[in-house]
Structure 1
């Protein structure tokens, strides 16, 4: 179920048009997500009379517990747009329609638990299950290989420790362990750079095959996370920077908004 909806406190003297737009914008933004714990929206327009012509100085949203595409949870997300031009007649009908595209500064926070839960999502599972490359099937006796039980631990300086298991079918499960450094490529792709096999977390008798499988797993991860696969309808996300802070991974960047998205 959708969570609570809270609006930022309006300044004294804000007219009915700005209050109406705050209400409609709150409802619209909330419905961009499959679930939400809280969504706060504020519209800035001075003087407020500009609103009747559809001119807004900025539009700000802050939300928590937001779920995108039914399976990808974000702990926190906030954005603030540049000046926005809207069709005010649509606001009267309970809708927001942009007259022209706009940009927004965006920050997204994922917890370590969010990241680990995302590995259970169908979109991610498709990339990790029943892999039949020659290099892997040679190790499994000709059977497809799947990577399961993925657990990510966030470390300082954008590093991550990753544990997983490779399912070799009749040959059983092989534990994997690696460290890698997260980085951003072309503002849209998350890279797992400089993967390093961690033998101390693997039984000695499995280390040789585990190292080979870990290398293959690292390559799959490195080609997995492309933001264009997760964009909301009408919104293109780009990352300028990422940073690990304790058990959280924080992204900052921008969004190009062509139109207000439909429901997920």
Structure 2
């Protein structure tokens, strides 16, 4: 999501008070958000001049390969396709640091991520900090001595499988454990209503021994709630997943995004 918002921030200045919007200008604006890029093409469908002066652009299309963010240099997008609906900005905000949207920003996005790049991301220092803050709520599934423990994830690794299945390995560390607990998870994925990513038939093993189903179900139910994208709607962001296709070495995602003008996600990120 942050990658999309950074692209949007690169588009905010495309409509100028003199009505100059060009493909090269748009491409340069997006390139400014990237540390590296192998290939990038941008096309801006201009509205008539009088509409440009009012802050309107008909459509923006972006296609790129091997894109790497400046802010998160451990994120690499193998392939990106993005196409917006008409963009309309408040005329009084043109030329300012943060132009204001007059109507919701809508776009279709297709991303391709590789297994290698996902592992690089989840093993990065920034992501590891996020993992250290993640806690497991066992819901009382473990004994009294364990259920109040705080587990930290370390050494994560994932492998893409066929038929939308994923294998993941991670270590759990806690002061009550003599040594890290090696966890292996294999699960399928399905999309419910375009907005809820759910785990399907998960298999969990700890140090080679299968984890009791009641504990697995508790954790899976908690994760399924976190993966409900409708949780973002309170912040003015709607996401509908149109396609999720996982195969060995590659993950493809297609989604529709709608960002309300008041959404915090349209705040210009600091670079």
So what's the TM-score if we normalise by structure 1?
0.68
Cross-structure match for 1:145: 151
Cross-structure match for 1:135: 141
Decide which of 253, 256, 260 is 2:255's aligned counterpart.
253
Corresponding residue SS for 1:115: helix
How many residues align? The count is 240
Matched ranges for 1:69-108 at <5 A: 70=72, 73-75=75-77, 76-87=79-90, 90-93=93-96, 96-108=99-111
Moved more, 131-140 or 37-46: 131-140
Partners of 1:185 and 1:121 in 2: how far apart? 29
Deviation at 1:252, TM superposition (A): 0.6
Q: Is the 8 A contact 1:79 1:104 kept in 2?
A: yes
1:18 counterpart = 2:17: no
Q: Is the 8 A contact 1:236 1:256 kept in 2?
A: yes
Decide which of 187, 191, 206 is 1:184's aligned counterpart.
191
Corresponding residue SS for 2:155: strand
Compared CA separation, residues 36 and 226, structure 1 to 2 (3 A)? farther
Deviation at 1:181, TM superposition (A): 0.5
1:196 counterpart = 2:199: no
Corresponding residue SS for 1:18: coil
Cross-structure match for 2:116: 113
Partners of 1:103 and 1:160 in 2: how far apart? 30
Partners of 1:71 and 1:220 in 2: how far apart? 30
Cross-structure match for 2:4: none
Deviation at 1:153, TM superposition (A): 0.7
Structure showing greater Rg: 1
Q: Is the 8 A contact 1:66 1:77 kept in 2?
A: no
Deviation at 1:98, TM superposition (A): 2.5
Moved more, 99-108 or 88-97: 88-97
Corresponding residue SS for 2:134: helix
Compared CA separation, residues 42 and 51, structure 1 to 2 (3 A)? same
Compared CA separation, residues 16 and 22, structure 1 to 2 (3 A)? farther
Deviation at 1:166, TM superposition (A): 3.2
Deviation at 1:243, TM superposition (A): 0.6
Deviation at 1:54, TM superposition (A): 3.3
Residue ranges of structure 2 left out of the alignment (5+ in a row)? 1-9, 11-17
Matched ranges for 1:215-230 at <5 A: 218-219=220-221, 221-227=223-229
Partners of 2:183 and 2:58 in 1: how far apart? 51
Q: Is the 8 A contact 1:66 1:73 kept in 2?
A: yes
Q: Is the 8 A contact 1:22 1:43 kept in 2?
A: no
Cross-structure match for 1:10: none
Compared CA separation, residues 115 and 220, structure 1 to 2 (3 A)? farther
Compared CA separation, residues 182 and 240, structure 1 to 2 (3 A)? same
Decide which of 162, 167, 170 is 1:161's aligned counterpart.
167
Q: 1:19-69 deviations in whole A, cap 9, x for unaligned?
A: 3x8636853x567x6x54336533112555542343322112345434498
Q: Is the 8 A contact 2:188 2:200 kept in 1?
A: yes
